[in-house]
Amino acid sequence: MNPVDVTIEVKGLKELDAALSELAMNVQKRYMVAANKAGANIIRDGARARAPRRESGRTSSIFNELVRVAKGSTKFRGPGFLKASVSSWKARRPIEPKATVAQHVGVKGYAFYGKFLEYGTSKMSPRPWLRPALDALWGAAVDESAAKLRDQIRKNWKKAHMAGMTYKG
């Protein structure tokens, strides 16, 4: 499933940005990856909670509910498979040219049908679950990213700061 492209721009954190700019570029990137992952995991968990789940139906046998994901495969898809397939991962290349890191939230693997549920098809109306999770948890994800970044800088400041500098934040 194609992830939803979103750019996060946090304003009002000048002190945090100043402290981050004092660190080496590879340290900045490592801290930003950890911060972005923390925020993306908030949205991932919300998407998992909102993912549509086929109800176990009419029979008591679990084998009637399971379907092979591919011919000859030993993996099966049953109720809750979409929820289990929602994940977050680091983007290979940032979406924005200025961005140093990017994180995706979406469905990987055999749960390709998640996009059909999200956007609908010619024969099925949409049942959005990923975008509502993003809309509802956007603020919490940004707050979590900023808090994680702040904690990373505070925890590791002594290792990376220049002599005589102190962090006030």
Neighbours of 127 (CB within 10 A): 13
pLDDT confidence of residue 61: 41
Total domains present in the chain: 1
Computed from CA positions of residues 85, 90, 93, 96, in that sequence, does the dihedral angle turn out positive or negative? positive
Residue 119 forms part of a structural domain: yes
58: tokens are 């009419």
pLDDT confidence of residue 6: 57
Residue 57 forms part of a structural domain: no
Residue 115 forms part of a structural domain: yes
Mean pLDDT by groups of 10 residues along the chain of 169 residues: 56 63 71 90 94 63 56 69 85 65 83 87 91 93 90 71 49
Predicted TM-score of the model (pTM): 0.70
Residue 2 forms part of a structural domain: no
**Closest Cα to residue 106, out of 3, 24, 12, 31?**
3
What is the domain range of residue 147?
14-51+75-160
Residue 128 forms part of a structural domain: yes
Between CA 110 and CA 69 the distance in angstroms is 6
Residue 1 forms part of a structural domain: no
